[in-house]
Structure 1
Amino acid sequence: MTVNDDSFTNWKIREEIAESMIPLIGKLHRERDVTVLLHSRSLVNKSVVSILKTHRFARQIAGAELSVTETMPFLQALTALDLGPSQIDLGMLATTYKADDRGLSVAEFTAEAVAGATGADKIERREPRDVVLYGFGRIGRLVARLLIEKAGSGNGLRLRAIVVRGGGAQDIVKRASLLRRDSIHGQFQGTITVDEDSSTIVANGNAIKVIYADDPSHVDYTEYGIRDAILIDNTGKWRDREGLSQHLRPGIEKVVLTAPGKGDVPNIVHGVNHDTIKPDEQILSCASCTTNAIVPPLKAMDDEYGVLRGHVETVHSFTNDQNLLDNYHKSERRGRSAPLNMVITETGAASAVAKALPDLKAKISGSSIRVPVPDVSIAILNLQLARETTREEVHDYLREVSLTSPLKRQIDFITAPDAVSSDFIGSRHASIVDAGALKVDGDNAILYLWYDNEFGYSCQVVRVVQHVSGVEYPTYPAPAV
């Protein structure tokens, strides 16, 4: 048998194993509200090829072999357990099992590693929490996709309504079309139908009421059967507590802003300071996409090396706030054509660091350049550290952070030497460390951090909403602290 024959045979074997994993993953998700992950990447509703590619990518970043032949026994062991709602990482199970020298079987080790999600220790399923989207632009539609995707188990968050201004004839049809097809993020995974008479979009069986209103004071959400909902404001029109408080109408309990908050509105970066949210806090912000991209790696670097000062330069994709062609704009430079120019502009990300990381004493400055790409940005984080180190040490440290730390859902890591911005469209991480671009000289470190400023940020928003709604389930094995 030739090498080619061996490779093809091996592929077919792994393909068959991945195919047999799909119903097990689906059953755990639907019946027990368990999300199966592989190094923080969900395997729910993934194709055979996608499962294999996820395993392949995990092998690349972990620096060690990991295939479906290794993870399948752990998945089978999970199906035999009395699991409660949770997230379980097959990659972490396989990796920690290799390092364990007690001679336990896969079933014994798995039962021990996920003990907190079984038997008397498991948490009970919670009632779905109503969610309302106020505004339905780029972030609103991506958050909608994520909420619909996560409704598959029938628990957790439930998108009940979208509030928009009336747009004329066939408004709801056009909005549904924008949800169905996206020039950057591709087709919606599922089916979408429209009932114009009842002003409802039905996406994968989820009935979503479209409410037309010119301002928050015109809506009583209880009229639509909505109770104790979390409202996500995607408009950015109001950023302080007074303005956002207008959303606290009948049926709405909390308001989450998808833009930097002003005044005393808490700016939350999931993974870093989400556990500081007070239970009675009704208004909070998810900060900006760039803040979410830089704060987790900044925290990781400060925890290990100490950060004395830093500067972040973001090379950012253009946004709807800019003009397609030269025209009047209230801001400097942003009136010039976005797809034809690099545009120097300001970023509030550096100043927002203090809200998310109040213990960080380092001064962080920042600026931004908008460039002619429609999505995915890169933040260049230039840090003066409290001690000298080497490129190899920082490289290995950040890789380990991306795999095993509490920040592994926020920080990803890539070693591909030919990676470019479009490779990160659809990334669910807040930022991705580009290992090849990393520079370290004594006490100076320069990190290049890719981030999908639309989808990755939307994932962070949903994580915050899950946390404040009480449906953010624990992850096993527990990340190393």
Structure 2
Amino acid sequence: MRVFINGFGRIGRSVLRAWAEDRRRGGRLWPQIEIVGINDIAAPEMCAYLFEYDSVFGPWKGAVALEAGVLVIDGHRLRLSREPDLAALDLSDTDLVMECTGRAGGRDLAEAGLRAGARRVLISGPSEAADYTVVLGANEAGLSDQAVVSNASCTTNALAPLMRFVNDRWGLRGGTMTTIHCYTGSQPTVDAPAADFARSRAAALSMVPTTTSAGKLLDQVLPELAGRIIAQAVRVPTASVSAVDLALLLDRPASEGEINDALRGAGGVIGVTDQPLVSADLRARPESVIMALPETRVAAAGLVRIFGWYDNEWGFSNRMLDVAALMR
């Protein structure tokens, strides 16, 4: 399966790193995927530099070289292009475009890879233009031959499999979710005007209450739970790893021990830890969500509190590759 990355930002580079790291270990996770090229408006020298030296994940441990418009990672050659309009490229030899620019909200940009000749497109974020929004562990059974697919958001990837798991076992009457989310490139480094007054403030200096698309996307991904979860966010001054903090009302009562035992056996994209970890400890974990079992609480009235970590870049990029493998 030949995959082309459009947009070499945080997710595009993380996808390539995850895939290339797996190749270094023998290619066990995604043996059917071959990443063949990258399109980004940045200079090739900048693309190579930002791949090799990453402030969050550290320097690349292998070899990185640039040869006449080709990025060479540990001997694997990827063609580089700088085309602002992806549709102008010839991608007729490409099975899937990973649309990682963050700009494919409308159908015109979402379909650019198809107009370039690729067979299908996978968008690294929410998009109303997508034919289907998929979250692994929640609704991948509905994935078939849709041409344009959205991989939802990092928070939705953490939330939706967990809510499906909870609802399948105990029933879910309702609840509230707060994502404690690291700052992202959408926030300013110094105070600057923005549509959202709180989001206009310097990202690394304050905790910033804001909105999240995860609630709306959860309703879309798991329509049987529509309207049952209120979702909000607080952006915090850390560079990576986020969390979901949930207060839930279940149909059937459950003890802390019962809940934790069930989570230990969840498997798949839901991981667990029994350790008193902090966010830095979860960096580069590949699961969609890692449940912090010491944080589980059940109040006398039956209100359940559960808490999970997620690396919003690395975990999500692993899911991009997992979903791409399903789209072959």
TM-score category (smaller protein) = over 0.9
Residue 326 (structure 2) pairs with residue 467 (structure 1): yes
Q: 1:421-475, CA deviations, whole angstroms, 9 ceiling, x for partnerless residues?
A: 1000010000011111111135321111110011011111111011111xxxxxx
> C-alpha separation between the residues in 1 aligned to 2:167 and 2:311?
24
> C-alpha separation between the residues in 2 aligned to 1:391 and 1:131?
44
Alignment-derived partner of residue 176 in structure 1: 48
Residue 158 (structure 2) pairs with residue 299 (structure 1): no
Alignment-derived partner of residue 445 in structure 1: 304
CA contact 1:308–1:361 (8 Å) conserved in 2: no
> C-alpha separation between the residues in 1 aligned to 2:200 and 2:53?
28
> C-alpha separation between the residues in 2 aligned to 1:282 and 1:361?
26
**Aligned mate of 1:162, from 29, 38, 44:** 38
Q: Could you list the runs of 5+ residues in structure 2 that have no partner in the other structure?
A: none
Alignment-derived partner of residue 88 in structure 1: none
For the aligned residues, what is the CA RMSD?
1.6
CA contact 1:162–1:210 (8 Å) conserved in 2: yes
Residue 10 (structure 2) pairs with residue 134 (structure 1): no
- Aligned pairs for 1:314-329 (under 5 A) are 314-329=179-194
CA contact 2:130–2:148 (8 Å) conserved in 1: no
Residue 219 (structure 2) pairs with residue 347 (structure 1): no
> C-alpha separation between the residues in 2 aligned to 1:243 and 1:183?
30
TM score, norm. by length of structure 2: 0.94
CA contact 1:148–1:159 (8 Å) conserved in 2: no
> C-alpha separation between the residues in 2 aligned to 1:251 and 1:361?
37
**Aligned mate of 1:435, from 284, 290, 293:** 293
> C-alpha separation between the residues in 2 aligned to 1:309 and 1:241?
33
> C-alpha separation between the residues in 1 aligned to 2:215 and 2:228?
9
Q: 1:180-235, CA deviations, whole angstroms, 9 ceiling, x for partnerless residues?
A: 1211111223211111x2x011001211111111122322224xxxx142101111
Percent identity for Structure 1 against Structure 2: 28
Residue 91 (structure 2) pairs with residue 218 (structure 1): no
Q: Shift of the alpha carbon at 1:362?
A: 5.5
Residue 258 (structure 2) pairs with residue 393 (structure 1): yes
Aligned AA (1:389): A
Aligned AA (1:437): E
> C-alpha separation between the residues in 2 aligned to 1:273 and 1:306?
17
Q: 1:42-73, CA deviations, whole angstroms, 9 ceiling, x for partnerless residues?
A: xxxxxxxxxxxxxxxxxxxxxxxxxxxxxxxx
More helix by share: 1
CA contact 2:297–2:306 (8 Å) conserved in 1: yes
Q: Could you list the runs of 5+ residues in structure 1 that have no partner in the other structure?
A: 1-128, 402-407, 470-481
> C-alpha separation between the residues in 2 aligned to 1:339 and 1:160?
36
CA contact 1:200–1:207 (8 Å) conserved in 2: yes
Distance 1:211 1:265, change over 3 A: same
CA contact 1:318–1:373 (8 Å) conserved in 2: yes
Q: 1:90-121, CA deviations, whole angstroms, 9 ceiling, x for partnerless residues?
A: xxxxxxxxxxxxxxxxxxxxxxxxxxxxxxxx
TM score, norm. by length of structure 1: 0.65
> C-alpha separation between the residues in 1 aligned to 2:203 and 2:285?
24
CA contact 1:386–1:443 (8 Å) conserved in 2: no
Give 3-state SS (helix, strand or coil) of 2:326's partner: helix
> C-alpha separation between the residues in 1 aligned to 2:326 and 2:130?
20
> C-alpha separation between the residues in 2 aligned to 1:364 and 1:269?
17
Q: Shift of the alpha carbon at 1:174?
A: 2.1
> C-alpha separation between the residues in 2 aligned to 1:387 and 1:331?
40
- Aligned pairs for 1:5-404 (under 5 A) are 129-151=1-23, 155-165=31-41, 167=42, 171-195=43-67, 197=68, 199-222=69-92, 227-262=93-128, 265-279=131-145, 281-360=146-225, 363-401=228-266
Give 3-state SS (helix, strand or coil) of 2:165's partner: helix
Aligned AA (1:164): D
Q: 1:282-329, CA deviations, whole angstroms, 9 ceiling, x for partnerless residues?
A: 101000000001111111110000001121101100001101111123
> C-alpha separation between the residues in 1 aligned to 2:18 and 2:284?
11
Structure of greater Rg: 1
Aligned AA (1:426): A
Give 3-state SS (helix, strand or coil) of 2:18's partner: helix
Residue 314 (structure 2) pairs with residue 455 (structure 1): yes
CA contact 2:130–2:150 (8 Å) conserved in 1: no
